[in-house]
Amino acid sequence: MIFPASAGAFLGLDAADCGEDSLGVVLPIPYEATTTYRQGTAAGPEAILQASQQVEFYDEWLEDEARAYGVRTMNPLRFAGPPQELAVELKQAVGQILDAEKFPLLLGGEHSLSLGPIQAAVERHPDLVVLHLDAHPDLRDQYEGTAYGHGCVMRRVLETGCQLYSFGLRAISPEERDFYAAKPENLHWLTARQLLPLSAEEKVAAIVRGLPAGPLWLSWDCDGLDPALVPSTGTPEPGGMDWYTVSELLRQLDGQKRWLVGAELLELMPQSQHHASDFACARLAHRMLLAGLRSRRRKA
C-alpha cells in the first residue's frame, strides 16, 4: 500500500500541527541504488511513516512531544540516478530547510544519501560534528565500482572537513581498519567491542565524553541497533546498540553544549512479518526529531 503523501504523514498529525510554520521537517527519501546484500530500503521511509501513526505523541524519555513544535512531512524526494548526483539534489533541498531555520529529519533509503545533506550542514556550520551510529564504518574509498555508494559514504563525508564520530561499529573491513590506524585527524570511533562490556550509563558517558561542543548532525543507520530490535535491515549484524543507550544518548544531547542541526535514520528494509522493526524505527525517528527540536529551542 502506498501511503498518501501529506503534511501530517509523520505521526498522523492534524492540520493544525503540521502547518507551514512547523519547526520540524520530515523528508522521506526512498533511495536505493547501491545496496549490496539484500534489497528493499526504498520502502523504508514509507514503513516508518505508516508505523509512526501508532507512535504516542508524548515521549516519556524526553518528557516532551514533537507535535508541539509543528512537524511537516514533505512529499518523498524520489531520485533514480547515481548517488553523486543525488548529493547535488539533496545538498540544495536540505540547505533550503536549514536556511529556513527548521530542523530536518531525513528518512532513508540507503546510507549513500547522507553526503549531500551533510555537505549542506558543513557549509553552514564549518565546525559540524557528525555522530554516526552504524554497524559499519562505511569508510571504503571505493566499493563495487563506485566511490559514492553506501560502503563509502563516510569516507566522502570525512572529505567535507567535518569531525566524524562513529559508534556501534562491529563489521570492519581490513581496508577500513588500516585507514583508521593511520589516524585521520577528523575520524574518531567507538567499536561495539569497546562499548558492549560497559553498563548502559557508561556507554552513554563514553560516547558523550568524546564529543566536542557545538553543532551536531545525527547520521544513524538502523543496523547500528541490535538486530533483536531491528531485524529488518540489509545486514543485521549481531551485537548492536540497545534501546536504552540510544534513548539516553538523545536525552543527554539535549544540553547546553551541543545542539542538533539535523538528523537522518536510514537503511530500514521492511519485511511484512517483522513490523516490530518498522515501529522501532518510527519511535526512534520521533525521539531524534524531538531531541533536535528541543536543542534548537535551547540555542535560540
Q: Is 46 or 138 the residue whose CB approaches Mn ion more closely? A: 138
* Under rule CB under 5 A, residue 221 binds Mn ion: yes
Cβ 222 to Mn ion shortest distance, Å: 8
Cβ atoms within 10 Å, residue 283: 20
Contacts of 274 (CB under 8 A, 6+ apart): 231, 232
Residues 152-211 binding Mn ion (CB under 5 A) are none
Cβ 11 to Mn ion shortest distance, Å: 26
Q: Is 46 or 134 the residue whose CB approaches Mn ion more closely? A: 134
CA angle 80-86-87, nearest 5°?
170
* Under rule CB under 5 A, residue 134 binds Mn ion: yes
Give the binding range for Mn ion (CB under 5 A) out of 24-32, 43-51, 136-144, 176-184: 136-144
Surface-to-core class of residue 280, CB atoms within 10 Å of its CB (0-12 exposed, 13-18 middle, 19+ buried): buried
Q: Which residues pair with 129 in a beta bridge?
A: 163, 216
Burial state string for 199-233 with b = 16 or more CB within 10 A and e = fewer than 16: eeeebbeebbeebeeebbbbbbbbbbbbbebbbbb
Cβ 223 to Mn ion shortest distance, Å: 4
* Under rule CB under 5 A, residue 136 binds Mn ion: yes
Q: What value does the CA radius of gyration of the chain take, rounded to a whole number of Å?
A: 17
Q: Is 124 or 177 the residue whose CB approaches Mn ion more closely? A: 177
Q: Is 95 or 224 the residue whose CB approaches Mn ion more closely? A: 224
Q: Is 35 or 119 the residue whose CB approaches Mn ion more closely? A: 35
Surface-to-core class of residue 16, CB atoms within 10 Å of its CB (0-12 exposed, 13-18 middle, 19+ buried): exposed
Cβ 3 to Mn ion shortest distance, Å: 25
Q: Is 64 or 237 the residue whose CB approaches Mn ion more closely? A: 237
Residue 203 carries which side chain, given as an amino acid letter? K
Rounded distance between C-alpha atoms, residue 135 and residue 300, angstroms = 34
How many of the chain's residues bind Mn ion (CB under 5 A)?
5
* Under rule CB under 5 A, residue 223 binds Mn ion: yes
Cβ 99 to Mn ion shortest distance, Å: 30
Surface-to-core class of residue 145, CB atoms within 10 Å of its CB (0-12 exposed, 13-18 middle, 19+ buried): exposed
Q: Is 150 or 296 the residue whose CB approaches Mn ion more closely? A: 150
Instruction: Spell out, one character per residue from 14 to 53, where the chain touches Mn ion: x when CB under 5 A holds, - when not.
Output: ----------------------------------------
Q: Which residues pair with 214 in a beta bridge?
A: 258
Give the binding range for Mn ion (CB under 5 A) out of 56-64, 68-76, 126-134, 248-256: 126-134
- Sign of the alpha-carbon torsion through 226, 261, 177, 267: positive
Binding residues for Mn ion (CB under 5 A): 134-136, 221, 223
